Amino acid sequence: MAQFMSKVALVTGGASGIGRATVLAFAQHGAKVVVADMDEAGGNETVALARAANTDALFVRTDVSQAAQVQALIAAAVEQFGRIDFALNNAGIAGNQALLADYPEESWDRVIDINLKGVWLCMKYELQQMLKQGGGVIVNTSSTAGQSGSRGVAAYVASKHGVVGLTKAAALEYARKNIRVNAILPGTIHTPLIDTFTGGDDRIMQQFVEAEPIGRLGRPEEAANAVIWLCSDGASFVTGATLAVDGGRLA
């Protein structure tokens, strides 16, 4: 089980959902973990859960859309643990729901800043550290919306398509530097983000369920398992890939 003993994993958006599940999966595999999020209470709770799994853990409050805060996050991780072997760039928001012609500009900017610029900033400084230490693995959280359209959430769709593009570009740029870069494309995973989309409306939730060929929502742990595999030696020849964890939705 402890395939990541002596390794260090960084997870943004680690206070809940896929991020928290991935932190705990890394911990169960023996890695030290760094949890980044704007939600201090949730982030510290994730750290407590990781420590309960007998691993070292650190929380750093981080707004991923701010370069100085991302730099501080990477510096804190390296100061505490000496390196960053794995990174899951997972922080993201749903944004407003409105038709494109009616979409508020300030909402567009916020979604792009967090979901796309935030991933770019995290990769920028993670890559700098990984180059110094001789390698590493980055996984970005895109979405099935990174390969298909969806009505009413144009900013979210655009941001997640952008994450796929960033992933492929970085994978090619650093393929010969012992750094692999991949993305997961979660389908409808039952997380707080989905509750944001549904607004507590059971009918909308049922529509999400019916859209999944497998007939149910995904669990955060199922997305986390994909991240763990992409970071493992079992995926040593995998870079620039987009791995759908979507119950068959894209199919």
> What residue type is assigned to position 167 of the chain?
T
Residue 168: active-site member: no
Query: CA–CA distance from 24 to each of 93, 137, 166, 186, 210 (Å)?
Result: 21, 18, 26, 18, 29
Residue appearing with tokens 């980044």: 36
> What residue type is assigned to position 119 of the chain?
V
SS3 at position 57: strand
Q: Which long-range contacts (CB under 8 A, 24 or more apart) does 76-81 make?
A: 76/34, 77/8, 77/10, 77/34, 78/129, 80/34, 80/56, 81/8, 81/32, 81/34, 81/56
Token readout for 251 is: 């199919």
Residue 177: active-site member: no
Catalytic residue from among 142, 143, 159, 174: 142
In the beta sheet, which residues pair with residue 59? 35
100/232 Cα distance (integer angstroms): 40
165/145 Cα distance (integer angstroms): 13
CB 49 within 8 A of CB 34: no
12/10 Cα distance (integer angstroms): 7
Catalytic residue from among 16, 156, 159, 174: 156
Residue 160: active-site member: yes
How many CB atoms within 10 Å of residue 248? 11
Token readout for 153 is: 């959430």
Q: Which residues are catalytic?
A: 142, 156, 160
